[in-house]
Structure 1
């Protein structure tokens, strides 16, 4: 197995996510998350833990279209925690992640909300 690039900055996680999703690399995607991370996906549910996140992406990636990079909004950092976010290209909603600095100085996702949508009026 080759060594995968790690996120040296919180913002790297979004780029690495897009690269690995486009490579259909479910294992590589899962490695962007802490062992007990929580992802609010599929919509209306939660996927808990790196193993479950890997299984989810292994099922979904073969049917998903190519991901396009999205410019990140400014990252908010407090010590070893950071909030990253991107506005989707289609202008609908937002994406946000809480990430944590690891003992080796790299960053991993702890909480991932890949789709926010406006509530119905």
Structure 2
């Protein structure tokens, strides 16, 4: 499912994690997107590398909740910040809370794709 607004990207990221659907997550990215990979913070470039780096996290079937905090948009680019909460499967409480930052770009068909993704942005 494509994102029709920059904010919708965050809801679709959460849905992909919660469904264990790595392909849906990767479909939210431009081909040469760059992502910061938790917990080490290393960079992965391109859908293939991002997928390989995140496969172990998706395999754990973590639960994710994301709430968009702010958006800055101009000329087909958007910068969004969100509060991100992550819990292990069956966990009663959130194991990690952080701030996610996404730069997305409007595509020619009006949908939005991630260009840069940092789920480990400083507060």
TM-score computed with the length of structure 2 as normaliser: 0.82
Q: In the alignment, does 2:109 pair up with 1:112?
A: no
Give the direction of change, closer, same or farther, for the CA distance of 1:92–1:29 in structure 2 (3 Å limit): closer
Q: In 2, Cα distance between the equivalents of 1:27 and 1:59? A: 14
TM superposition outliers: structure 1 runs of 4+ over 6 Å: none
Which is strand-richer, 1 or 2?
Answer: 2
Q: 1:82 offset after TM fit, Å?
A: 0.3
Give CA-to-partner distance per residue, 1:47-69, whole Å, 9 cap, x none: 1101111222222211142112x
Unaligned runs of 5+ in 2: 86-93
3-state SS of paired residue (2:102): strand
Q: In 2, Cα distance between the equivalents of 1:45 and 1:55? A: 13
3-state SS of paired residue (2:12): helix
3-state SS of paired residue (1:74): strand
Q: In structure 1, what is the equivalent of residue 55 of structure 2?
A: 58
Give CA-to-partner distance per residue, 1:83-109, whole Å, 9 cap, x none: 011123579552101000011110000
Q: In structure 1, what is the equivalent of residue 18 of structure 2?
A: 22
8 Å CA contact retained: 1:26, 1:55: no
Q: In 1, Cα distance between the equivalents of 2:46 and 2:72? A: 24
